[in-house]
Chains A and B, each alone.
Chain A
Amino acid sequence: MQGAYMNYAAKRLLQAVVVVLLTYVFTFIVVSILPGDPVTNVLRDPQNGFTEAEIAQIVAAQGLDKPIPVQLWHSLSGFVTGDLGVSLRSSRPVSDLIAEVLPSTLRLAGGALAVALVLAMGIAYGARFLPHRFGGAALRALPSLFLSVPSFVIGLLLIHIFGFQLGLFMVIDPNSFWATFFAAVALGIPISAQIAEVLMANLDHEASQDYAAVARARGLRQSKLFFRHLLKPSSLPVVTVIALMVGEVLGNTLITETVFGRTGVGSLIQRSVVTQDLPVLQAIVSLAAVVFAVINLIADLIYPLLDPRVKLVGTAPRRVTTADELPRANA
């Protein structure tokens, strides 16, 4: 078991590294086929006021005159050694730009995940315990509703009600506690729906297993059945779901930060997209992939330690983690 686990961990680690490197290459290819020449688009932009000599210097310094594969090689080796390059627009190191806005985004993303988890558990466990006619059915329908509302609408709704109507926060002060809280709620609601769906499906699945009936036949009351028997096996897959959702949260900060007027990684992306600041985009996408890879690596490494059933044969344990993969009802 020990040897098997180390073997599995090593393989999984290697896989994560490979995925991150491939993601970097993929992003580079996508970004470098941008229509138009970034040199012309960005550097010759009159607003920047660079002279031709300065432009030539920047082009030489960044290697923009070299063939694409050579640029990729330089860029990739920089990334591996921790050098994220320099912004075309502001000429500042990309790592500085990201470091400035990261704390605000981490607060938002962390808050969103917490909100999502609490909401998801409330929905799933509430739907299990509340009788059908006292809202259990309504709770079951909630995730589907959450997944049907554009996240920016949720944000606008919250701003409208709690900002304008109730005056809990001012839109012009996006870093206040309540503004951050409601931004996290807006970001967390769609995430909570996905976690709740997996949680509910797993709970239903476990409750319909023979062992649940046998445990009840042993005289267990519903609450004991839930806490002792159903909670753990139905919650285990959530470890993986949360890891997958981290990517979702990072991507959606783009919209939430725009809606709430926050500065953060999302607004940095937005700015870089508009100004075609490629090194910044490349760095943010690659870092997002690193975060995603690391968190999923951790989840996959923890999972076998939590679930005694998992047999390690070099591959990741198989389990249902998204609603897409739930088995068909009568399959």
Chain B
Amino acid sequence: MMISVTRTPRVALPAPLGVILSLLVLAVIVGWSLAPGLFTGFDPAIGIPADKLQGPSAAHWFGTDHLGRDLLARVIHGTASSVSSAVIAVVIALVLGGLIGLLSGFLGGWVDTILARLVDVLLAIPNFLLAVIIVTALGFSTTNAAIATGISAVAVFARVMRSEVIKTRSATFVEASFLSGGSRWHILTRHVLPNASRSVLPLAVLRFGQSILVIAGLAFLGYGDPPPASDWGLLISIGKDYLKWPWLVYAPALVTVVTVLSLNRISRWLRKTD
């Protein structure tokens, strides 16, 4: 009586291998953030002027910059700031957006109407522009760029959370819990929230990657911490003035791309496996 044919969705990469590689990449990134000194012996701030603008070699995998600093060391030491700012952004977006979506979907009525307009406003301003005016209001720094990036992603989380909450709220098992004597609070915390979160988690991972890009974009425009900070976006921004020595752009860009790609892959995997 049920269709016995199962269709597994086609995936681009062999799921386990791609995901395992992605997780390995993330492990390295986490290692770079927590203990950069373990991964490089070079000082990210002080270079040897004689060795400036050297191409990638066995000694300097990513080459050296215009002050003779090892680029890999700068990338590794810039990881903590790049990653932690993205974490801040995602946490802000997740908490604020999740709360808005949860209240809006669960309470409905005028709360939903008011919050829906707020979300509409956040959506109506182009995402990056919103981040720019907020970071302008808060002042230029990497942390403020992270906060701005987080706020600009609130609407996405609010919308997904709201639709998941509405879907879950009308699920049969929620009514079943109500009939079993469950209070609204019990239903909200034990049934609606865990089920709605199942779609929000992959979104958070996806947005983590996107936040790295947005923050890099803000750093590129000069809205983050100034040098000698070595956030990935800032490194690329500095490198663009030395296009004759392209590794100054492509090495930090490659690290950014591989990181974000891994996060996207993991997000897809989470979405599929649940």
Contacts and interface: CB of A to CB of B under 8 A. Distances in A.
A310 interface: no
Interface stretch (B51-59, B61-69, B118-126, B183-191): B118-126
Contacts of A145: 257, 261
Interface stretch (B26-34, B73-81, B130-138): B130-138
Contacts of A137: 12
B260 A148 contact: yes
Given A20-B124, A150-B217, A254 B129 contact: yes
From A150, A254, A288, residue with most partner B Cβ within 10 Å: A150
Contact-residue size bin, chain A (C-beta under 8 Å from the other chain): 35 or more
A156 B240 contact: yes
Interface string B231-270: 0010011001001001001100100111011001100100
Contact of B264 (A148, A150, A292): A148
A285 B237 CA distance: 25
B160 A31 contact: no
A34 B124 contact: no
Instruction: Give chain B's interface secondary structure class.
Output: helix
A177 interface: no
Interface stretch (B42-50, B83-91, B198-206): B198-206
Contacts of B160: 324-325
A152 B124 contact: no
A204 interface: yes
Interface in B211-244: 213, 216-217, 220-221, 223, 233, 236-237, 240, 243
Contacts, number: 175
Contact-residue size bin, chain B (C-beta under 8 Å from the other chain): 35 or more
Instruction: Give chain A's interface secondary structure class.
Output: helix
B118 to A, nearest CB: 8
Contact of B12 (A144, A259, A325): A144
A140 interface: yes
10 contacts: A35-B137, A132-B10, A148-B209, A148-B256, A149-B257, A152-B217, A156-B253, A284-B129, A328-B274, A331-B274
Interface of B: 7, 9-10, 12-13, 117-118, 120-121, 123-130, 132-134, 136-139, 156, 159-160, 163, 198-199, 203, 206, 209-210, 213, 216-217, 220-221, 223, 233, 236-237, 240, 243, 246, 249-250, 253, 256-258, 260-261, 264-265, 268, 271-274
